[in-house]
Every structure is written in C-alpha cells, then in structure tokens.
Structure 1
Amino acid sequence: MKQHLKIDFHTHIISEEFLDLAEKYGDDRWATLEKTCDCGANIMIKGKKFREITSQAWDAERRMKDMDEEGIDIQVLSPIPVTFSYWADPEKGLEMARFQNDFIASTTQEYPERFIGLATVPLQEVDLAIQEMDRAVNELGLKGIQIGSNVNGLNLDDESLERFFHAADERNVPLFVHPWETLGRERMPRHNFMYMVGMPSETALAAGSIIMSGLLDKYPNLKLCFAHGGGSLPYLLPRMDKGWKVWPHIRKTEKPPSHYARMLYFDSLVYDEHNLQFMIDSFGADQVIAGSDYPFLLREAPSGAIVDRVPSLSEEEKEKIHGLNAQKFLNLNDEQYAKTARKELVRNEKR
C-alpha cells in the first residue's frame, strides 16, 4: 500500500503546569489540573472531577512515541475545550487563552517537524478575540484558531460574533469548531451521553447555524472545520434542504443548505467506514480531514484508520484525507513545511 504523509488534525494538549486561575481569583468554575501520578491527572471543576487524563495529554515525548507506533507524522495540537472559559470576565479569559497559546507555541517550536498548533481566543469579547488571534498567528506562529460551538448559549450565527468571522476571513485564518457546553446537557448526566449524543447534536447545531445564516455568502473563503464528522449534520441535511424549500420566510441564503455544507471541512472521526462514505457522498473527499481526538478514550487509533477501509476511495483521495486536505486548510504551503513533509515521507518509507 502506498505510504501517505499522515497528519492527525484533531488532538488536544494541556500544560502539565496548568494555570490555576481558580486559586488566583477565588473562583472554582475555572478548570484546574490535579496530578494523580506522573502518568496522569484529573481535570477539576468546582471541586469535582470533570475528566481523567493521562500524561499523553502533556508529554510531547510520549505523544511522539505513540505517533511513531501508529504511523502518524504530524499532530495538530489544540486546547481541551473545557478550558475555553467563555463564561469568564473577558480579561481573565484572555489570560487563560494567552497561557495556553504560549504553551502550544512552545511545543511546536521545540518539535517543529512533528507538531502544528491551533490557538484559543476569548470569544466572549470579540475585540480581545481578534487581538489574540493576531498575536497567536503573527507572533507565535500558530496556524489557526479552535473555537467552541457556542458562546455562552449564543449560536455561531449571532450577529455579535460576525466581526470575528470577518476578521478570520480577512486574515485567511482557519477555524476549527469543537463542541462544548452541549445542547441539552442537563438531560445527559447518565450513560456519558454528553460525549455520545450531546456533542454530535451540538456540532450539527453549530454547523447548521453557519450554513443557514448567510455568512458563507458574505465570506465564501472563510475556512471552517467541524469536529466529529460534523456530528449529526450529514444525516440532517436533506431535512434542512426541505425546510429551506417549504419555508421561504426563513431563508437567508441564496442556495439550499447542502450547497454550503460542501464549502465546510469536517474531520473523519466517525468510527465506521459506512458513515465516512456517507460523509464523502455528502461533502466530497476534498472536505474531509483525518483526525483522532487523541489522547482521549473515544479517539480513533490510529488517526484515519477507517479511511483505508473505504473501498470507493482512490489512492489520491486517501492521500488528501490523510494529509493534503489538512495542509490546504491550514495554509501549510511554505518551504519549511515542504521540507518537513519530505522528511516524514522518508520516515514512512523506513517503517
């Protein structure tokens, strides 16, 4: 089988020396990191365990060992969504964002051939978010921004957020949309439904809000990638098209929703080759990017494993999904990246 450059677009990282704003500001709503051993920790919120994580979440050397074992050449690093902290005072939210962006940038600078970084911004205050976007991209060298699927209950089509999307479009900064503070979370405490049902539903709502808003008519070059295969969006598109057709009074777009869905990007994290085939039929192979959700329990290992199990995909299409689509989305066309790509392809040939 032909070896492709493999980029895992969807991974999360946190500093082992994570900023403790709960203690600094006397507010236990801030996420904090409580080490349990050298091999792991708990993310704590309001004095309760929110999530267990392993040292894979912060240890770059361990990450690279996993990458080598799984045939992954490059990881794209982004913050853990619970740390978005959009609920916070904007200046304090900026403090959290700057800490995380500095940490991610330091990791990518130490290992530039293995890691690419995405920033976070305090979207509760658009001016500060744009300011931090500029710092993260222009000063730190991060390649895009990860944002949440809503901002304190406001969908992404809220008019208060449009200046942020305008700025991202103007600067050609790609945005990775990840679910957080999920729709209906008060009904999902059992069965871990927040992760299995809430997040896919939340992602579909976020993508649907963008699609129906007219934003992509105004900013057709805006780059947006949605996590977890767009959640339930691929299966809802025919219903959205029907609604757009029968309710003309709700229309804010020139064309039906399915047209705009094909302008978006989606990661490949749907676990099943039939689901991935349906995504490709819905959006096109050029819009799908391999991503695993490393290092969490629901991750795919290795990233993009199902891509090679879809019989209809050509080698060229597999190469796009494994790496070239991520390269295009993240504007990785500079000479340094080309050198990195060649080195990783040589690494692949030796495996």
Structure 2
Amino acid sequence: MKVVDTHAHVIPQTLVDAMYDGGAPDGITITEQEGSPWVVHRQGYRYPLLAEFHDVQMRLKAMDACGIDSAVLSVAPPLFLYWIEPADAAAAARIVNDAIAGMVAAAPSRFTAMATLPLQDPRAAVDELRRCVIELGFRGAEVGPHAEGVQLDDESLRPVLAAAAELSVPLMVHPYYVGSTPGPLSDFYLTNLQGNPWQTAVCASRLILSGTLDALPGLDLLLVHGGGHLPYQIGRLDHGHRVRPEARGCAHPPSEYLRRFHYDTLTHGSAAVRFLVDQVGSDRVVLGTDMPFDMGAGGLDEQLGGLHLSARELEAIAHGNAERLFGRHQGDDEL
C-alpha cells in the first residue's frame, strides 16, 4: 500500500551552509554539542541538525525505514522568520523555497513540497505563494497559526488565505516558536508539549468563530498534531456558540466546521487517532510523522496499528486523502 507523509520537515542545504558561514537570517548559527551539530536561534531555541533535514539520500533512507513512499516537504517551523524585517523575510522565503524545490528535483518520485511565506508582508506572501505554485509546482504552503501575534483570521492576512483558495492548494497550519513561552509553559518543554496543540486549537477556533471559513468556502486547511485540542473540545465551542453572543460570528455551530479541516495522525496515541477518525471521518485524516524531529512518530504501522480500520479507511489515511488534498495543482490528480 502506498504511504504518503504530509508532515515532513526540512532545512535545505543552502540554509545550512549559511548557518555555518555566519550569513543565515536572524543570526541563526550551528554549534557543536557533544560532537554533533546543533541549530541555535538567538532567542534560545536549539535542536540537533540531523542529516535527514538536509541530506536527500539520508532522508530517503529514513523514509524507507518507516515504509513511507513519498513525503510533502515543508520547512522546519522555527525558520518561518515572521519576526524579521519584511524585505529580508521575503528574500529568505524565496531562497528557502528554491532550495526545497531543488530537493524535490533530486527525488521527484518521492517528494513534493509546500512553500513558506513571509506573512509579515501579506502582499509579498501572496506573490510568493503564486510563484511557488505556478512556477515551482508546489502543492500548498505551511503557515503559522499567527504571525507574531497577528492571528491567521486577521483581515490583513485574508488575501493570503484567498489566494490559496483561488489556487486550489491547502495551507498547513503549524505552530512555531524560537524561544521559551513565558509563564507556566516555560518549564518541562511545555512550550511544545501543550503549547503547540493549544496554538493549533486557538487558530482553528478563531477561523471558525470569526466567520473566516464562511467567507472562504473553497479554502482547504490541514491541522497538524491531530488538530491539537480542537476535536476533543468542539462540544465546548458549540455550547459557547449557543449561549455567548461573542461566539456567534459563524453561520453554523462550530462542530459543523470540523470537516472543513484535514488532520494529521500525529497524536502519539492510538486511542486519540481512533477518536479523531470517529469525530471527523476517515476521509479527513492523513498520515503525518513530523520527521525528523524528536517529537515525531513512525509510519503507518506504528501510528495506526491495532485500530481495526477497514481497508478503505486505511487506504484513505495512508495515501488517498493526501493525493486528493495535495494533488489538484494545474490539473494533476496524482501526488
């Protein structure tokens, strides 16, 4: 059975070289830690620079080990760079996207790609999305749930969402951070463990309650980490929509928008995946691994083993839904 990984991160070699040479944007560098290279952001976040991030052959070897036939590549979220000067961000996004296109060209039967966009400049973000889709053949874009506090449902970012809908390509919403979150999430790696699913749930809730999804009926969105807390707490949103005037900005109860999103399987719990499939339908769930981050998971067997899915459901999650979601560019129906 073909297996497609929709949540697969890269740091292109061009950017790695710049980190080594001291010319990377925002002062990102690489240091040696216990004999291995680590990416270091000036805000404090650091993580191992695994070869699978940038070495195509090593990445393909890791995919083979997980039984993954193809992957939709997206840049590592700490490299969104929404916090730097707009002109610098637009230039960096172009360099990163061109480098990802080079990785795809090195193994076109195994890779497709999503763009990164300079959301702090919505007009430049629209231009880069169009360039990547029309000229480079990208299948969508990866965006944060906000751009340094400007929420994805903000009117200033509506042109970016509208362009994705017009181009018939999805946006994958992925949380990001480059330093510790102040307050109670600063300890125990909670910035990621709880902060990431919280960011996703808040973003999706805002897109629903603000009426953004009503205004853009053709917009496709993929929520990583199983949609964060959203599927589990959708009843609370429905109740709020009934009893609170502040939560009535959408045309329908929030639960009716659950199927406006796709969700990856990366929940780290088979019971959670089972609940997700029951909530949103097997046709809205796609495989995601978060490769090669340490918070990732394995392939189809590891994540879905023992769930007693039908053959049709398994095929949909393994590859069918991804092919439908990402395979509609320029009349191309296959991923």
Query: TM-score by structure 1 length?
Result: 0.88
> For 2:178 and 2:41, how far apart are their aligned partners in 1?
16
For the Cα contact (< 8 Å) 1:13–1:58, is it kept in 2?
yes
For the Cα contact (< 8 Å) 2:29–2:40, is it kept in 1?
yes
Following superposition of structure 1 onto structure 2, how do residues 171-182 of structure 1 map, counting pairs within 5 Å?
A: 171-181=167-177
For the Cα contact (< 8 Å) 2:45–2:180, is it kept in 1?
no
Residue 153 of structure 1: aligned partner = 149
Q: In structure 2, what residue type is equivalent to 1:258? A: S
Q: CA RMSD in A?
A: 2.5
Residue 142 of structure 1: aligned partner = 138
Query: Are positions 1:247 and 2:241 aligned together?
Result: no
> For 1:261 and 1:330, how far apart are their aligned partners in 2?
19
Q: Which one of the candidate residues 90, 105, 108 is aligned to 1:109?
A: 105
For the Cα contact (< 8 Å) 1:14–1:80, is it kept in 2?
yes
Q: In structure 2, what residue type is equivalent to 1:271? A: H
For the Cα contact (< 8 Å) 1:126–1:163, is it kept in 2?
yes
Residue 349 of structure 1: aligned partner = none
User: Structure 2 vs 1, CA of residues 222 and 336 (structure 1 numbering), >3 Å: closer, same or farther?
Assistant: closer
Q: Which one of the candidate residues 78, 89, 110 is aligned to 2:74?
A: 78
For the Cα contact (< 8 Å) 2:169–2:328, is it kept in 1?
no
> For 2:261 and 2:44, how far apart are their aligned partners in 1?
37
Quote the offset at 1:32 in angstroms: 2.2
Residue 10 of structure 2: aligned partner = 13
For the Cα contact (< 8 Å) 2:241–2:253, is it kept in 1?
yes
> For 1:153 and 1:300, how far apart are their aligned partners in 2?
29
- Give 3-state SS (helix, strand or coil) of 1:185's partner: coil
For the Cα contact (< 8 Å) 2:144–2:174, is it kept in 1?
yes
Deviations 1:225-277 (A, max 9, x none): 01101111111100000000111353111111111111111111012111011
Q: Which one of the candidate residues 54, 57, 62 is aligned to 1:58?
A: 54
Quote the offset at 1:192 in angstroms: 0.9
Q: In structure 1, what residue type is equivalent to 2:54? A: W
> For 2:244 and 2:290, how far apart are their aligned partners in 1?
37
Deviations 1:189-216 (A, max 9, x none): 3211111111111111111111112111
> For 2:260 and 2:167, how far apart are their aligned partners in 1?
18
User: Structure 2 vs 1, CA of residues 247 and 336 (structure 1 numbering), >3 Å: closer, same or farther?
Assistant: closer
Q: In structure 1, what residue type is equivalent to 2:207? A: I
- Give 3-state SS (helix, strand or coil) of 2:194's partner: helix
User: Structure 2 vs 1, CA of residues 20 and 95 (structure 1 numbering), >3 Å: closer, same or farther?
Assistant: farther
For the Cα contact (< 8 Å) 1:148–1:178, is it kept in 2?
yes
- Give 3-state SS (helix, strand or coil) of 1:262's partner: helix
Query: Are positions 1:92 and 2:88 aligned together?
Result: yes
Gaps of 5+ in 1: 342-351
Query: Are positions 1:125 and 2:121 aligned together?
Result: yes
Quote the offset at 1:69 in angstroms: 2.0
> For 1:162 and 1:74, how far apart are their aligned partners in 2?
31
Following superposition of structure 1 onto structure 2, how do residues 13-32 of structure 1 map, counting pairs within 5 Å?
A: 13-18=10-15, 19-20=18-19, 23=22, 30=26, 32=28
Higher mean Cα deviation, 226-235 or 211-220? 211-220
Q: Which one of the candidate residues 212, 225, 229 is aligned to 2:226?
A: 229
User: Structure 2 vs 1, CA of residues 286 and 227 (structure 1 numbering), >3 Å: closer, same or farther?
Assistant: same
Q: Which runs of 4+ in 1 moved over 3 A?
A: 19-25, 181-184, 332-338
> For 1:33 and 1:326, how far apart are their aligned partners in 2?
34
User: Structure 2 vs 1, CA of residues 81 and 304 (structure 1 numbering), >3 Å: closer, same or farther?
Assistant: farther
For the Cα contact (< 8 Å) 1:118–1:143, is it kept in 2?
yes
* Matched residue count: 331
User: Structure 2 vs 1, CA of residues 303 and 44 (structure 1 numbering), >3 Å: closer, same or farther?
Assistant: farther
> For 1:173 and 1:261, how far apart are their aligned partners in 2?
19
Quote the offset at 1:183 in angstroms: 12
Quote the offset at 1:40 in angstroms: 4.8
> For 2:178 and 2:195, how far apart are their aligned partners in 1?
6
> For 1:298 and 1:94, how far apart are their aligned partners in 2?
29
Gaps of 5+ in 2: none
Q: In structure 1, what residue type is equivalent to 2:289? A: S
> For 2:274 and 2:330, how far apart are their aligned partners in 1?
32
> For 2:114 and 2:75, how far apart are their aligned partners in 1?
8
Following superposition of structure 1 onto structure 2, how do residues 29-44 of structure 1 map, counting pairs within 5 Å?
A: 30=26, 32-34=28-30, 36=32, 40-44=36-40
> For 1:84 and 1:228, how far apart are their aligned partners in 2?
18
> For 2:21 and 2:164, how far apart are their aligned partners in 1?
31
